[in-house]
Every structure is written in structure tokens, then in C-alpha cells.
Amino acid sequence: MDDIQESTQAATIAALKAERDQLLTLLKALPDISFVLDAEGRYVKVIGGANEAMYASGKSLEGYTLADALPPAVAEACLTHVKQALHTGEMQTLEYQLCVADVALLPPSVRDNDHHQAEQWFEGRALPLPSYDHSKPVVLWVAVNITPRKQVEQYWREAAYTDPLTGIANRRALFEQAEHEIQRAHRHHRPLSLLVLDIDHFKTINTQYGHAQGDEALRQFTQCCARLLRDTDFMGRIGGEEFVMLLPETDQLGAEQLGARIVEAIPTLDVPGMNNEHRMTVSIGAATRLEGEGFEHLLVRADDALSTAKRSGRNRLRVDQAATR
């Protein structure tokens, strides 16, 4: 009976070893790199990574730990998922950013390569390997380079929130940011002002010089305004030639001062192809948030002030006076 049990056990061990060897052979042929990591985060074996355009060889990591090789935050997150996989017996997934040049144990020739200086995105998949011959429990960690996918996601995310002509925020992004700033100003009882800007007689520019020149005028207008803003300010295009500026931590006087600088700066722009006699000007309406006021009402007041600026002859700033009534 003992002989039968020993024979059965030996056959089982041999089958598991053959299965493991088949798995490792398969992994070596795959483009993604894989690691056998033990419960302490030690690299027991590095496998695969045949796609040299996406991965650097990690053989030099064997015998070292995640903490030895990776930046602290990445190493800690990876080790947490290794332990979670061993505890639950189920696959754990983690997305993380890593610059190959920051992997301390790679050879200098690899780390100094220009291709490896850029930040990359990986999806780590940790799955327990119960039959692996090692003194401690291990997982198989497959690192899938998902940088191209992340780049596509970033492109579409920016496209959804960016005005394609000027490169600033579009209407959707502006309104979302405005709600956030309104809530913050309300919560902390801080001032917030709004400027609504409209390029004067812009349709005449398009008619006289053509749409291509009109587009260039819009870009130069945007760049000029952006140079006058602080890092905390937010500018968006909400219509053809209409723009809005969110000015956190800005009272009525601050909004007036900025608006006056913009009115003064725009006519100095020299748009290629446009006659020197034909200078752009801008009309601006300003409003400062009242206690408890939402964005839509604040925008209406700033827009009413803009209408007043246009009726008054354009090329000027008008401020809604609700706060002083």
C-alpha cells in the first residue's frame, strides 16, 4: 500500500512539475514580462518579455525584492497585491505607473536608454502558484504594458474637455470646473469672480479675412488672455467668439483690474494677415459671487454686464453691481 501511495504521490509531483514547466515555456514566448514573486516580494524568477520595444530584460532582479528594485510607493502597492492574492487564492489586478529608468537594479545601459526615460503604465496580474518549488508561497505576476491604451484614453479624455481650435477648456469642462469652484467658495466663504468675454465684431473679421485668419485671431486672443491669468484661474471657450474666465479667490476689484488689463492688451495683438488698422478689441462683463449664489445665476449677471459693455460702445469692461445694490 505504501508503495502505491508513494508511486501515486511521485506521479502527482511529476505531473505538477510538467505542468509548471509547460507554463514557464509558454510564458517565455509571450510578449509580456512575468515574475514569480514570493510572499516577501522577492523575485524568484523573471520570465518572458519577448517584446523588447515594450520591456527591458529583468533578469538582474532575481534574488532581490520589490523594495530593492522599485520606487517605494510602487513596491508597497505591488507587495500588498501579492499578499492579497496569496491570502484569497484569487487573481489580484493593479494598474501602476513606472519609469524603467527608476528600476534601481537594472544595468545602467538599460536605465540610461532614452526609450526607458518615459513614464509607462502597467497592469499587474498576480495569481497564486501553489505547486511551485520554493520555500515560501509564490505568485505569478504578469506585467502587461498598457501604455498605448492609456495614451488613447488620455487623448479621448482631453478631446472631450478641450476646445480643439484654441487648446483651452471647452464648455463642458468649464461648467464642471465652475461647479467645483462654486462649491469650494461656498464651503470656505471665499470670493470668486467671473469674466465673460466677447471679441468685438468677430464676424467682420471672418468675412473680411476668411475663416482661417479668424481661427488664428481666436488662437492669439486666447494666448494673450492666458498670459494674464494666474495658475489658479480657469479659462474656457463657450461659443464661437465668447469666452469665460473663472477667478477663484478674486473679489470685484481684482476682477475689474484683470478685465481692464485684457481690454488694454487685446488691441496690441498683431495677427498676421490682418491690416494694422484693423485691431481686435474685446467687450467684457464681470460679476462677483454673492453669498449662496450658484454658477448659472452668476453667469447670467456677468452676461448681462457684457451686454451693457456692448451697448456702451464695446472695447470696454462693465461690472455687475448687484453686490453694491
Please write the tens of the pLDDT for every residue from 117-149.
Answer: 678 899 999 999 887 888 999 999 999 889 989
- pLDDT over 50 (residue 54): no
Match 450658484 to its residue by C-alpha cell.
294
Q: What would the mean pLDDT of 37-65 be, rounded to a whole number? A: 76
Residue 55 has pLDDT above 60, yes or no: no
Question: Over the range 79-117, which residues count as b (16 or more CB within 10 Å of their CB) and which as e?
Answer: bebbbebbeeeeebebebebebbbbebbeeebbeeeebe
Residue 51 has pLDDT above 50, yes or no: no
Most distant CA atoms of the chain, gap in Å: 107
Provide the whole-model pTM. 0.65
Average pLDDT over the chain reads: 86
Whether the CA torsion 41, 46, 47, 51 is positive or negative: it is positive
Element (H, E) at 43: strand 43-48
> Mean pLDDT across the stretch 88-94?
95
- CATH H-level superfamily of 162-324: Reverse transcriptase/Diguanylate cyclase domain (3.30.70.270)
> Active site residue: 241, 256, 277, 291, which one?
241
Length reported for the chain: 325
pLDDT level of residue 158 (50, 70, 90 thresholds): confident
241 catalytic? Reply is: yes
User: DSSP string covering 211-243, please?
Assistant: HHHHHHHHHHHHHHHHHHS-TT-EEEE-SSSEE
Sequence spans of domains, the chain: 2-154, 162-324
Give the model's confidence band at 44: pLDDT under 50 very low, under 70 low, under 90 confident, else very high: very high
CATH 3.30.160.20 fits 2-154, yes or no: no
